[in-house]
Amino acid sequence: MADKHKTLGEYIIENQSSFQYSSGELSRLINSIRLAAKVVNHEIRKAGLVDITGAAGEVNVQGEAQQKLDVYANDKFKETLINREIVCGIASEEEDDFVVVEGANGTNENKYVLMMDPLDGSSNIDVNVSVGTIFSIYRRVTPVGTPVTIEDFLQPGNRQVAAGYVAYGTSTMMVFTTGNGVNGFTLNPAIGTFYLSHPNMKINETGKIYSVSEGYFAHFEKGMQEFLKYCKEEEGTRPWTARYIGSLVADFHRNLLKGGIYVYPRSRTAPNGKLRLLYECNPMAFIAEQAGGKASDGFTRILDIQPTELHQRVPFYVGSKQMVEKAEEYMEQYKEHTL
């Protein structure tokens, strides 16, 4: 039974020694994310009452129309992290390039860089569907005290020291890992405090839910098409149930709790997949593995992929271990039938 009286702050203090690096900086960084998430949550809850929905009129580096809340969330997370001088660099899905954070004296002695998707699924805000924030934390690889470089951000996911997401839904939850399991904290809106509600989260070995945008079926690779046919066969525990929200955080969170697989594969319309390796796939893969699940690009472990660019896209298969492995079987079987 969860100790629903334990706050996120208390949990961080009690478990600081179990963090991979327990200097206190990582604890302060997670606390900063918690603060920014509460600010963004407050703004999201006003959607429909004030002019914060719809397109902002700008296009991000991926060529996608930015929503007003994309810009707002990005600014709030950056502002919180920079003002607290808690990181030495930030990379965001909404920024063309990474941001170098300088200290008050022009140098920065902090050891961590943060990468984020400040508001995943933001187009769903207009129709009152759950959205989220995704974050990923690494120790820098360049010398402390010098400006960060692209090398600090292009690290494989297996070097993450922490990752998590905030789901803004019927309740607001912060789920994260520091490499010692996965824990979920639910916000009590009356007092603005996150409480431990889902300790030691584990995903089922298998499940009955598959999450994919099947409208692109004709554009998928042969292996993916055959896997989807398998999902629908009336054999054993199948057919599985199709559930697709269109917000990675919401789909992943449901499957984490209930068991399932989320897939955004390669297709003729998205030959490299659509999701970003650094901002979406790596942090979700880290969480999935820490919860006993698996994450793959269809052939390779996501966390072992060496990034080559800041906004790199990859196919993404994540969720219950047996379901991901079954998808990999089909991809391997039909690997000669690539796009």
The binding site for substrate consists of: 120-123, 244, 274
Give the separation between CA 320 and CA 323, rounded to whole angstroms: 5
Distances (CA, A) of 269 to 122, 265, 297, 302, 338: 21, 10, 17, 22, 14
**Total count of residues recorded for the chain:** 339
Q: Which residues pair with 220 in a beta bridge?
A: 267
Residues 6 or more apart from 310 whose CB is under 8 A from it?
91, 97, 98, 150, 153, 154, 278
Question: Checking DSSP bridges between strand 89-92 and strand 112-120, what pairing results, if any?
Answer: parallel
> Which residue has 């990923």 as its token pair?
136
Q: Per the annotation, where are the binding residues?
A: 93, 117, 119-123, 244, 274, 280
Give the separation between CA 213 and CA 242, rounded to whole angstroms: 9
Q: Per the annotation, where are the binding residues for Mg(2+)?
A: 93, 117, 119-120, 280
Write the DSSP string, 131-188.
EEEEEEEEE-SSPTTSPP-GGGT---GGG-SEEEEEEESSSEEEEEESSS-EEEEEEE
Tokens of 105: 């004296």
Give the separation between CA 279 and CA 337, rounded to whole angstroms: 29
Whether 217 contacts 225, CB under 8 Å: yes
Distances (CA, A) of 157 to 3, 82, 277, 311, 313: 31, 24, 9, 14, 14
